[in-house]
Amino acid sequence: MASSTEGSEAPFARAAESRASSRCRRSASTVNPAGRLHRLLTAARKIQPNTRTTDAWRQLLDSPGLDDTQLLSRFGLALRLPQEARDALDAVADLNRDLFLRWVARVDVAFFHNRFDATINQFTEHLDDATLTTIEHGSDLLSKRFAQNPAIEQHLPSISRAVKELRQDVVESDLPADIIEFVLDHLRAIDEALETYTIRGAEGLRDAAHRAVGAIVCDKSIDTKAGGSRVWQRAKHLFVGIAAVVRLGADAAKIAEAVGLLEAPPAITELESQSDWSSPTLTARF
């Protein structure tokens, strides 16, 4: 395939894999929106007060290479976190709102005063230890009350590597051009989900996998046109594997059947039981 496609994809893949490895080391705080908000605000307070706001947010969002427009788009995801955390806590039936939502006013004020033509202290000066402690307690409460799957996060680097390897094989394959673009589009969506994991959590991966699987299920001509290509089968295996990890409401075997795989590969079945993504069997399977 055209080398221009391969060249344009490679830096993106390397950056995504690096960020996935970084996120894995900080995974404990990303299992619910309150935890992600706490991680974000804690990191913000550690940045030098006179740091330009744009530079600070690029650092906070693991996005050093974004231009201003892309940064604002990514910042929009962070801006949603306080409401998502509040909604999650509101779902707790017997919640002591005066205690667990005490942080809301201060965090709202902090975001209100965030100015991209100023320095980060305009944002962080409104945050204090008590606010962060309250959010942290809320995250702990959510982790205990609602089923979480923190094991997803230890797999992020392996998912990123699998995406990178598949991308390389896709651009060098003999698949029809529109199928190549179809796979690359969905791989880019997965990369985006990995890049924003510390903000969106598993939701981004769930959406990306859902779109990929859904597109294949709804348009049977995609599978027909791709034929029995080994690369195409690997692409479907990857989409099914991610879908199974983030729990789309069906087990791996049912998802595999829906996209035209004869059976769920053993490695993906093991994946559902939180097996090691880095195992030789699983890596080879992908």
Say how many Å lie between the first and final Cα of the chain, rounded.
21
- Number of alpha carbons in the 13 Å side-chain half-sphere of residue 179: 25
Per the structure, the count of domains in the chain is 2
For residues 128 and 110, give the distance between their C-alpha atoms in angstroms, rounded to a whole number. 11
The answer to whether the Cα torsion of 22, 23, 27, 30 is positive or negative is: positive
Q: Are 105 and 190 members of one domain?
A: no
Q: Given pLDDT bands bounded at 50, 70 and 90, which one contains residue 268?
A: very low
97-111, 231-245, 248-262 — which one is most confidently predicted on average? Answer: 97-111
Q: Are 201 and 89 members of one domain?
A: no
Residue at a domain's end among 145, 161, 195: 145
- Give the tens place of pLDDT for each residue, 17-60: 444 444 443 444 677 999 999 999 999 999 999 999 999 999 99
Within a domain: 262: yes
Residue at a domain's end among 145, 168, 192: 145
Q: Is the pTM of this model over 0.85?
A: no
For residues 126 and 26, give the distance between their C-alpha atoms in angstroms, rounded to a whole number. 25
- Number of alpha carbons in the 13 Å side-chain half-sphere of residue 257: 5
Q: Are 54 and 111 members of one domain?
A: yes
Within a domain: 194: yes
Query: What is the rounded average pLDDT of the residues 229-240?
Result: 88
Query: What is the rounded average pLDDT of the residues 209-229?
Result: 88
Amino acid at 223: D
- Give the tens place of pLDDT for each residue, 81-117: 999 999 999 999 899 999 999 999 999 999 999 999 9
For residue 164, the model assigns a pLDDT of 92
Within a domain: 122: yes
Kindly give, in sequence order, each residue whose CB lies less than 8 Å from that of residue 150, ignoring residues fewer than 6 positions away. Answer: 27, 28, 31
Contact 29, 36 (CB under 8 A): yes
Within a domain: 27: no
Residue 72 lies in domain: 32-145
Helix orientation angle between 3-25 and 177-195, rounded to the nearest 10 degrees: 20
Q: Are 14 and 40 members of one domain?
A: no
